[in-house]
Structure 1
Amino acid sequence: MTDDWQDLVVGARMSVDSEFSDRVRASSLSNSQWGLVMTAVEFDVEDADDPEHARIVADTSQLEHVLPEMQNVDQQQAMGAGGRSEPSENTSGIVGGIKAALGLGSDDDSNEELEAEAVELADEYANALQSHLEKEGRWDEVRRAAAGD
């Protein structure tokens, strides 16, 4: 698949980023953690040759490389060093950071939970991006570009 299609969705991604910020705030991920997720996730058009089944999917295989930094950001914010710019409605990230700083709980468990939530959000983002493109009447153009047509 070609990456040219990604050039076509830059504006759509900016719109979806703005709309998706409420979903991120409702999660246990901070904006900094979500930023790290987005640096690790790549988006692909699966089945681009098939107009009926083509869809945008999140390739989260590289998330493992940013998980340690996501934990660091979480712990820094929990201890007040990072200073979260927006308060989170969900305090599990703070509690998790405090537990980790005190040596309580398992890093493996918290990494798995963090990764699972990051994957879920990335998948939701991919769906939101495709929905946005469909509403704008641009999905077929993007799909064809991904297929190399």
Structure 2
Amino acid sequence: MSDSPWTDRIVGDRMTVDQEFASRIANSEFSNQQWSLIMTATEFEIDHPDDPDRARIVANTEKVDQIIPELENVQAGMGAMGGPGGAQGSNGSSSGGLVDSIKGALGFGDGGDAHDDQLEAAERLTQEYAEELQAHLEAQGKWDTVREAAATRD
């Protein structure tokens, strides 16, 4: 999350939306730990903050691509602890590691399509979260104040 003043104003609202969005994550392909990692790599921005009719919160997921290989490590770790999903993904070989990450980034190895699918799912979910956050702010009567704070920052 960015350190801009508008994001500082919505910390409590983010916590509320996190709780409301938890069921959506539970029904997704991501565990709570994976979702936390995705959210850490996501920054929220307000497009067109000067225009009340066009302004909207968007998820900037540019950095999410960098953490996708780590999502497999989180999933494998959960399996090692008896959590769900430990058997999927690695076909019995050790998963993750620097070489596997580099190979995946270059498009080699088995994980290319899975990587793209996870990235697409993460982007879709983070944008849904952004829409939920904006709807929450609107319902609470805070959207205009937040939007205006973002506009003065630009």
TM-score greater than 0.5 by the shorter chain? yes
- 1:31-66 CA distances to partner (integer Å, 9 max, x unpaired)? 010000010000000000001000000000000111
In the alignment, structure 1 segments of 5+ residues that lack a partner are 88-93
Q: Distance in 2 between matches of 1:126 and 1:83?
A: 33
Residues 56 and 130 of structure 1 are in contact (CA less than 8 Å); yes or no, is this contact kept in structure 2? Answer: yes
Residues 72 and 89 of structure 2 are in contact (CA less than 8 Å); yes or no, is this contact kept in structure 1? Answer: no
Cα distance 1:83–1:130, how it changes in 2: closer, same or farther (>3 A)? farther
In the TM superposition, 1:1-149 aligns within 5 A as 3-77=4-78, 80-84=79-83, 94=85, 98-102=88-92, 106-148=110-152
Query: Given the two structures, how large is their TM-score scaled by the length of structure 1?
Result: 0.84
Structure number with higher relative contact order (C-alpha < 8 Å, ≥ 6 residues apart)? 1
Q: Distance in 2 between matches of 1:22 and 1:83?
A: 22
Give the CA RMSD over aligned residues.
2.1
Cα distance 1:133–1:83, how it changes in 2: closer, same or farther (>3 A)? farther
Q: What is the one-letter code of the residue matched to 2:110? A: S
Query: Given the two structures, how large is their TM-score scaled by the length of structure 2?
Result: 0.82
Identity of aligned residues (%): 43
Please list every run of at least 4 consecutive aligned residues from structure 1 whose deviation after the TM superposition is greater than 4 angstroms. none
Residues 49 and 148 of structure 2 are in contact (CA less than 8 Å); yes or no, is this contact kept in structure 1? Answer: yes
- 1:1-32 CA distances to partner (integer Å, 9 max, x unpaired)? x8110011101000000000000000010001
| Equivalent pairs, count | 137
Residues 41 and 59 of structure 1 are in contact (CA less than 8 Å); yes or no, is this contact kept in structure 2? Answer: yes
